[in-house]
Homo-oligomer: A and B are copies of this chain.
């Protein structure tokens, strides 16, 4: 149940329409919580029904018209409650690690290319984050809110650095492996 709270946070930072939120989820918030526009519209409807947000009255509310939302006091309270509440970390799900594990059984054929590709993707993401850091957190900007937001961006930067390095390590291990093929094919029992 994190999406509504991600939306509340985004709306508190700046009241927005559904599409604006979608765009912002492709940027800052989306670095650690992605969402499609359908999810967002649905959730906006629910949040409005619960009385946590409301549509800004200004613009005429018609289909194909922008409809911006702002957070109501009840929404802010709910977000504060959720933020303070203890939550267990969820176990990671990483498909690439699963594939490596599978490769130990069925062979590494084809995997190395994708490892390399992922390495590039992580490196590119890292570059993007570093650019944002330059832009959004110049030396002077270090109020409490800035520090917290910078901390979060730092997590993104450090994680991408981590994966880039880990994939380098994995690739160097691959180079030491006895050629991409099937390590063995044990007796396959037939019916």
Among A83, A108, A110, A143, the most chain B Cβ lie within 10 Å of the Cβ of A83
A-side interface residues, number (CB < 8 Å):
82
Q: A6-14, A39-47, A132-140: which one contacts chain B?
A: A6-14
Point out the residues of chain B lying under 8 angstroms from A110, CB to CB.
Answer: 83-85
Copy number in the complex reads 2
Q: How far is the CA of A30 from the CA of B93 in the complex (A)?
A: 9
Contact present for A100 and B170 (CB under 8 Å): no
Bound-complex Cα distance A83 to B182 (A): 12
Q: Is A188 an interface residue (CB 8 A)?
A: yes
Closest to A188 in B: B73
Bound-complex Cα distance A189 to B76 (A)? 12
CB distance from A139 to the nearest CB of B (A): 16
Contact present for A9 and B101 (CB under 8 Å): yes
8 Å CB contacts to B: which residues of A78-124?
A: 79-80, 82-111, 113-114, 117-118, 121-122
Q: Known contacts A85-B110, A91-B34, A188-B76; decide if A101 and B173 are in contact (CB<8 Å).
A: no
B residues in contact with A87, CB < 8 Å: 95-96, 99, 114
Closest B-chain residue to A92, C-beta based?
Answer: B32
User: In the bound complex, do residue A95 and residue B99 qualify as a contact, i.e. CB atoms below 8 Å apart?
Assistant: no
Known contacts A32-B93, A89-B121; is-contact A148 B103 (Cβ 8 Å): yes
Q: Which residues of B contact A95 (CB under 8 A)?
A: 2, 87, 89-90
| Of listed A79, A98, A182, residue having the most chain B CB within 10 A | A98
Taking the closest CB of chain B, its distance from the CB of A112, in whole angstroms, is 10
The proximity string for A residues 150-174 relative to B, scoring 1 for CB distances below 8 Å and 0 otherwise, is 0110110011001000100110010
